[in-house]
Structure 1
Amino acid sequence: MIGRLNHVAIAVSDLDAATRVYRDTLGARVSEPLRLPEHGVTTVFVELPNTKIELLEPLGPESPIARFLARNPDGGIHHLCYEVDDIIAARDRLKADGARVLGDGEPKIGAHGRPVLFLHPKDFCGTLVELEEA
């Protein structure tokens, strides 16, 4: 059901500093920052030959990323994103198998302009999983 790894998301408290590390120190190509108020974050994508890294900075204290950083002040891996062909079919299959979909269970539009859903980490080996329709 899942396809390729779309990205690994890393929560950071200083997006500019994190972007400099990937761009200047590691020599990676990075996107311009993109504010996503509906998700409570500003994001920068680091382009790699085989996947992407998504750097996430909270947009305010109510952001899920702000809560993550309160528990993990140094930041760290927040979630893994996998592509699926049909997000509704994937959601329905996962729910039928007992997996918990976060939020209201309806896809939201993500940073790539495609529908996304998040799955509860307790159902996936302690890892928050994002599904993105390919």
Structure 2
Amino acid sequence: MDHNSFKTFSQRPQDVEAAWHLVDAENAVVGRLSAQVAALIRGKHKPEYTPHVDGGDFVVIVNADKVRFTGKKETDKTYFRHSGYPGGVTLQTPREVREKYPERILEHSIKGMLPKNRLGRQMAKKLKVYAGAEHPHEAQNPQPLDIDA
């Protein structure tokens, strides 16, 4: 057997074909949905996955305001923000965040599961989250995806 027949395949940025997925987040558990969406954005579901190449798909999430937490996280979990000024700490519960910025819960959760570098920030741009059932990406024809969360 020839040794050259087992070459390691490495995907190149120009070879990437990104699909569009539509996910309905109604009644989905935040962490479980986020883990599956983060894997789609990274491209880990594809056989040609390459860690240093952004080979993932675009994901459009609708009904982000209807995601749920397990247990008492809705009232007991806190999100930390700091303005950069002395005394500029803001702590909010998921309930408070949901009232004002319902998309932020899923965005924060999914971005936390992506790499913390330039590639991760590039991947995060492929995530589109909307509070209601409407989204402006009909032209991309996103395929409905059933997430078992």
- Identify the structure with the greater helix proportion: 2
- TM-score tier, shorter chain, comes to under 0.3
Provide the TM-score with structure 2 as the length reference. Answer: 0.20
Q: Which has the higher contact order (CA 8 A, sep 6+)?
A: 2
Between Structure 1 and Structure 2, which shows a larger proportion of strand residues? 1
Q: Point out the structure with max Rg over C-alpha.
A: 2
